[in-house]
Amino acid sequence: MTNTHNYDWAIDRDYCGQILRGRYSTALKKRVASYISLFRNINSTVNPTIPYISAWKDSVDRSIWYEFVGTRLLMLLQCQSCEAAELFRDSIHKRCSFEFSDDNSIIKEILLKENLNGIRGKLRDQVKNTGNVEAVYKVELRDNSSVWLKDQATLETFPDDGVCLSIGALTDVTREMELEEQRQQEEDKLRLSHAELEKQLEKQNKKLWQTQLDIVYRLAQAAELRDNNTGLHLTKMSYFCNILAKTAGLNSTKSTLLFHATPMHDVGKIGISETILQKPGKLSSNEFEIMKTHSFIGAKLLSGNDSPLLKMARTIALTHHERWDGTGYPNGLSREKIPLSGRIAAICDVFDALVSQRPYKNAWPLDTAFAEIKKGRGTHFDPHLVDLFLDNKAQFKNIHSRFSM
């Protein structure tokens, strides 16, 4: 391990290394001396690359020192060569490394100063494993300006001496990195404004949805008022249908949609004369035929818009008077050919009509109304839905008492 050769020729007044003067192997000293000789030749302040030889011991104290460092780095840091290693380490503000991923895209890893200090040992081990370094450092200078230096180095290990050498060059890539930073900032700005736009769009869509609900609800209410009904019928229909839809297994999106679409079931009554709508006694067969057209009129009023809300409202308006046995109107559909939303609305509509007070009738007691629904099981109404309806009487009673005047 002791030095038998003299490498004094490689030691100049700027030499602040430890190897050439220390008790290290000839192989290591020879290597360091030959690199110093080579780097002195290419070292010049006009050369954009800064050659260096750094070293550290692979033991507990792993601090780095320079065996050689290019003049240009000393000028940038405004320091002597023996201060350079420590000062350079403390001036690194950011470290970026680039790697190719499996799909050939570039993965950029950025470490900021505060995170760097804790993982220098880990980075050193990574470098030792790969045998080379390629990273870009943002270095803050004494005059508060900064430069970007690209570091490319090869590692040589000397196990007998417990020393690692990093033979490398730093290249000034400030211009390229500043452009990259600018591009990044623009990208961040774009991403932010995109997110802001999306937020605004979501807000507007919500507002549009509320407006849509409001308009159709007012229209439905206008139709109900002409029929001597109160708005409460619509509110109760929403809740009743929502309960029945949930118990029938509809997901929350569909049952919520049904909640909002149901109030429009009789919107077609806008097209029926008040003489018929408000006639206290039984309708003549001719009047009943006219009354039946409210399903078609409603469906027509709600057609031509493909929003899920209006599509469901249209289906309900068209089919809420169909009957399970096929004797309903307007199309005489039977069983599952009647859309589920129409079958649900049919039960809830009849139930609420029975339990509500009207100018021409008293409200039926709840149990009598439940019995009437049961009577229509398999003829007027979907038998399975009637079972679910009767299994959940408590919920329907609760809604009824909450909204009855």
Task: Point out which residues bind Fe ion (CB under 5 A).
Answer: 266, 349
- Give CA separation, 388 vs 25, 177, 391, in Å: 91, 68, 5
Query: Which backbone phi and psi does 109 adopt, to 5 degrees?
Result: -115, 125
- 68: which strand partners? 53
**Helix H or strand E encompassing 138:** strand 132-140
Tell the smallest beta-carbon distance from residue 294 to Fe ion (Å): 6
Residue 184: Cβ within 10 Å count: 12
277 vs 310 by CB, closer to Fe ion: 277
68 vs 351 by CB, closer to Fe ion: 351
3-state secondary structure of 350: helix
Query: Nearest-CA neighbor of 76 among 112, 48, 41?
Result: 48
Tell the smallest beta-carbon distance from residue 265 to Fe ion (Å): 6
77 vs 350 by CB, closer to Fe ion: 350
**Under 8 Å between Cβ of 259 and 239:** yes
Tell the smallest beta-carbon distance from residue 306 to Fe ion (Å): 24
322 vs 349 by CB, closer to Fe ion: 349
Tokens of 223: 């139709």
Tell the smallest beta-carbon distance from residue 359 to Fe ion (Å): 15
266 vs 322 by CB, closer to Fe ion: 266
Q: How far apart are CA 159 and CA 162, in angstroms?
A: 5
67 vs 349 by CB, closer to Fe ion: 349
Q: How far apart are CA 392 and CA 105, in angstroms?
A: 58
- 168: which strand partners? 52, 153
Tell the smallest beta-carbon distance from residue 379 to Fe ion (Å): 18
3 vs 293 by CB, closer to Fe ion: 293
Q: How far apart are CA 313 and CA 241, in angstroms?
A: 13
Tell the smallest beta-carbon distance from residue 230 to Fe ion (Å): 11
Tell the smallest beta-carbon distance from residue 214 to Fe ion (Å): 20
